[in-house]
Structure 1
Amino acid sequence: MIGPYRLPARTVVVSMVGAVLIVVLLLVIGGGVCVVWAERGGPGWVRVAARITLAAGEQIGRAERRRRRRARYRITAGGSGDSGGSGGSGD
């Protein structure tokens, strides 16, 4: 019987995650291109995109530093240091 084929739910979720990651990667690459182009005197919209890219990078860097600082505090304060990240087999 030829009819509508339904993909398993896991396949759909994995393909959606892959699509989102590809879009994020393209945005990062495009932002980097805008930063380089703006440095060389690109048009106004490129300078705006470069400012947005650099601001997003700063925010991500700050969040990462805060996360590391909190993890270090937990370790030195006698906590287990386990932040619940990868490191076990949770399939």
Structure 2
Amino acid sequence: MVFKTGTFHGEKPEHFDGPHPAWLESAVAENLAAAGDVDASDITVTCRGTRVILTGNVASEEEAQRAVAVAGATKGVESVENRLSSI
């Protein structure tokens, strides 16, 4: 059996310092879903490195602040950008 060096369609894989953005997005989304005082059904989580961006709609400003707190408490998150709208 011959083992070849792994390639991704001829390109080297991206290197990330810290957690991979997809893993971090999943962790934040899971924490938001598990939080009893946040309705995360209309919240989208996006990561740029270790910065988390929350977009979508929540019921109140207090719920938006709680969502930011939950996201910020997730391991690996450096900062949280709040783009949530209260309906």
Please, what TM-score do these two structures have when normalized by structure 1?
Answer: 0.29
Q: Highest CA radius of gyration, 1 or 2?
A: 1
Structure with the higher strand share, 1 or 2:
2
Greater relative contact order structure (CA < 8 Å, 6+ sep): 2
Please, what TM-score do these two structures have when normalized by structure 2?
Answer: 0.30
